[in-house]
A and B are shown apart, each in its own frame.
Chain A
């Protein structure tokens, strides 16, 4: 049973008489949830993420139930005397992997993010985007139970952004929690389980369903055992599910979650049959 990270009455200020950056924050991040944090610049989003990631301790209040955590910082410095692969292997072992598993995971993640060709390049010589890929890979390679992303998409190329979207979907599908900040309102727009806004030093849950600007979607036609409903995990990631004949479904899913949906359907007991997968026609 994975623990739920809880913040109870948490406040944080820098210095003994500094102003409170955050105060009275109550937040629970149950396993398997995707949480979006919003707020304008300088409101304390990064401070909240540092508390969630365990990098900072709260000045007042309590943080309980810390799971295995990884974070992608806002600005990743290339000023480390390692090659990309060596750094990732070190971080993999720090995250608790064996040396061999860390080396393998480092290679896999660099490849997934399209930076396999830079494995042997010193970090100091990487471009900003490739440095950010290393920062993202560092957080993902040990499959953390809590992933904290502070504008992790910034600086990545389109393919790597989409790969990170899919990686986030994978983490939540595997029961991990993900907390993220991103200035693009379309980022994982259809997916968050909860959205909070940091405002005036406090945290406010956004309850009103603002019509989310829709990102690209994928339509999956699948049929299962006679008359059966799709597995619950599949329904969790779909935006809509339509049954047009008994057991025959048309499932619409955010593009970032299509792999998760297919994996869930194909590995269900008994497995579902996927009849077709295609990108949804232009929505406008």
Chain B
């Protein structure tokens, strides 16, 4: 599995297809986050924007490998494991991105609630932001895995499905990502640091189920 992971990671890094989502993430953060704003609000923004980025990264990893090359790897290790490595590399990339954003946002934001007077401890805020990033990355990866090969094969259907699912994951009631992000925003108003453990558990379950479904189908669908 380590070898598969390294191969997929090298494939992602060297293909340079990670560049557009990373640039998009940086740009949207630059627009939405400014130095001296309340830290929890900014962290909520950083987590929410990571969700589509994670979905996009999964799509890049899954569609980046030509079918014949995927066949060579699938023959060696089994198609399910090959596909899992692919999705996990994208998730890891999203987490690295999200963690870096959380650190930067925590450092440049004001350690205060929305009223600019109540103090919010920056370390606890950063930890809470990391959890929210984890929730959004997991959910984004789940969206990406469910809206690309092997579930949806034609880009004409897959890309709109990805956009719609991303939107739903961010705004639908009951979505762990929405819960985690709104937890940060209401926490900022109240001046308390939330601990989104319940959304995290739900996100882990959803992502696990999505990955399992995609990997299971990877040997049943043709390229």
Name A residues whose Cβ lies closer than 8 Å to a Cβ of B.
14, 50, 53-57, 59, 68-77, 79-82, 86, 90-91, 93-96, 135, 138-139, 142, 144, 148
Whether B10 contacts A138 by the Cβ 8 Å rule is no
Complex Cα distance, B64 from A81, in Å, reads 10
Partner of B3, one of A50, A54, A93: A93
Known A14-B222, A81-B15, A90-B10: A95·B76 in contact at CB below 8 Å? yes
* Chain A proximity mask over B182-223: 1 for CB below 8 Å, otherwise 0: 000000000000000000000000000000000000011110
Chain A residues within an 8 Å CB radius of B15: 81
CB neighbours of B219 from chain A (8 A): 54-57
B37-68 interface mask toward A, CB cutoff 8 Å, 1 = contact, 0 = none?
00000000000000000000000000001111
Task: Give B contacts to A, CB under 8 Å.
Answer: 3-4, 6-7, 10-11, 14-16, 65-69, 71-79, 219-222
Which single member of B14, B65, B67, B76 contacts A91 (CB below 8 Å)? B76
Judging by beta carbons under 8 Å apart, are A94 and B4 in contact? yes
Given contacts A53-B71, A55-B219, contact A91 B7 (CB under 8 A): yes
CA distance A79 to B76 in the complex (A): 20
Q: With A56-B219, A90-B10, A93-B3 in contact, do A77 and B76 touch (Cβ < 8 Å)? A: no
CA distance A54 to B219 in the complex (A): 8
* Given contacts A74-B68, A93-B7, A54 and B73 within 8 Å (CB-CB): no
CB distance from A138 to the nearest CB of B (A): 6
Say whether A77 contacts B66, CB under 8 Å. Answer: yes
Contact B68 A76 (CB under 8 A): yes
Q: Are B78 and A54 neighbours in the complex by a CB distance under 8 Å?
A: yes
Q: Contact at B75–A148, with CB atoms within 8 Å?
A: yes
A79 to B67: give the CA distance in the assembly, Å.
11
Set of chain A residues within 8 Å of B220, measured between Cβ atoms: 56-57, 59
Query: Which residues of B have CB within 8 Å of A59?
Result: 220
